[in-house]
Amino acid sequence: MYTNDKPPRVTAFMDNIPEPKSSAGRRSLDRKASLIFVSLWLITLITLIVGLVLYCGQRSAIQSELEALEHWETSMVAFSASLVNHSETIRLGPHSEDVILVYRHVITNVGSAYNPSSGIFTAPTKGVYYFSFTAFGWSENPAQVSLYLNHKYFMSAYDNKPGPGRGTANMITLQLDIGDILYIKLRSNMQLHDNGNLYNTFSGHLLFPISLTGNI
């Protein structure tokens, strides 16, 4: 039991820490502490910046891959269709006005850009396309069909030689934008015949795409 003795000091280990002997010493310790704090803050900031840069770079790479995949998918465009299948026989025309030809028998339609219900091809991507079409008749009426681009006359295939069993064809390469449409019309007073030989066809495919910035 203690009487006049002082209680034991539980913080005796603090006695070993040197006290600054002057205000200059305290300022030096403050500067060192501030330097350590600033250094830790800068290290943390640099780490965050590096992490953000790496994240953005990885995200950009993934986005580029997705865009490349989408670009590749939309680049798969090819179709070919005829007026009839191999078991049909038809005669079209003559009509008093031009009529759109609907090539119902789809042979190929990669990318589904050709609509066999309307006879209209719609460009799904900007690029350079190749198209061809034929016309065949079996009467004294001439055979003439015309290509229309965005509802405007563009070119024709025409055979006016008299006599049965005659045909003609035409082809072209076009640069199209997304949403441009093409279709074939039978001209007025003209007549076509077709059967299982598939004389009358409309075909096209994408040669190469062009990006929206103008680069291939």
Mean pLDDT throughout 122-143?
93
Are 138 and 53 found together in one domain? no
Are 68 and 81 found together in one domain? no
Residue 134 belongs to some domain of the structure = yes
Mean pLDDT throughout 76-93?
96
Mean pLDDT throughout 61-86?
75
Residue 195 belongs to some domain of the structure = yes
Residue 59 belongs to some domain of the structure = yes
Q: Give the total number of structural domains in the chain.
A: 2
**Domain boundaries, position 30:** 20-72
Residue 149 belongs to some domain of the structure = yes
Residue 48 belongs to some domain of the structure = yes
Are 67 and 116 found together in one domain? no
Domain boundary (72, 93, 108) is at: 72
> For the CA atoms of 157, 160, 165, 168, what is the dihedral angle to 10 degrees?
-20
- The Cα–Cα gap between 157 and 199 comes to 13
What does the pLDDT look like over 30-56, one tens digit per residue? 777 778 877 788 888 888 888 788 887
Residue 12 belongs to some domain of the structure = no
- The Cα–Cα gap between 198 and 116 comes to 16
